[in-house]
């Protein structure tokens, strides 16, 4: 099984950080995604984020669902 790449880990960390910053749980994110027409089971969402294996489109859907307007990719 291939190991998680640094980029996948960064995407996973970015999504989790935004969830924490916005106080959004996986259950709440599932509901917010449903409002956008994205059908995602809470268990599958947890697994997808945990693995860090998701598309850029999915990341943008999650960020949009949480109302994120801007993101910082680094502290530099």
* Of the candidates 55, 38, 54, the residue with the CA atom closest to the CA atom of residue 46: 54
Establish if 37 belongs to a structural domain.
Answer: yes
Give dist(CA 51, CA 37) in Å, integer: 23
Residue of 10, 12, 15 whose CA lies nearest to 62 = 15
Is residue 56 situated within a structural domain? Answer: yes
Whether the per-residue pLDDT at 3 is higher than 70: the answer is no
User: Is 67 in contact with 24 (CB distance < 8 Å)?
Assistant: no
Beta strands (DSSP E) in the chain are none
pLDDT digits (tens, 9 = 90+) for 16-50: 999 999 999 999 999 999 999 999 999 999 999 99
How many structural domains is the chain composed of? 1
The boundaries of the domain holding residue 21 are 6-65
What pLDDT, in 10s, does the model give residues 8-20?
999 999 999 999 9
Is there a domain that residue 1 lies in?
Answer: no
Q: Is residue 25 part of a domain?
A: yes
Q: Is 13 inside a domain boundary?
A: yes
Task: Tell me if 11 is assigned to some domain.
Answer: yes
pLDDT confidence of residue 4: 60
> Is 1 a residue whose pLDDT tops 60?
no
The end-to-end CA distance of the chain, in Å, is 33
Residue 50 maps to a domain: yes
């Amino acid at each position: 099984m291939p190991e998680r790449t640094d980029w996948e880990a960064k995407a996973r960390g970015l999504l989790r950080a935004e969830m924490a910053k916005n106080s959004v749980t996986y259950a709440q994110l599932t509901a917010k995604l449903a409002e956008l027409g994205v059908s995602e089971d809470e268990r599958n969402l947890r697994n997808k984020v945990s693995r860090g294996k998701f598309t850029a489109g999915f990341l943008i859907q999650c960020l949009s669902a949480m109302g994120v307007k801007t993101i910082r990719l680094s502290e530099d």
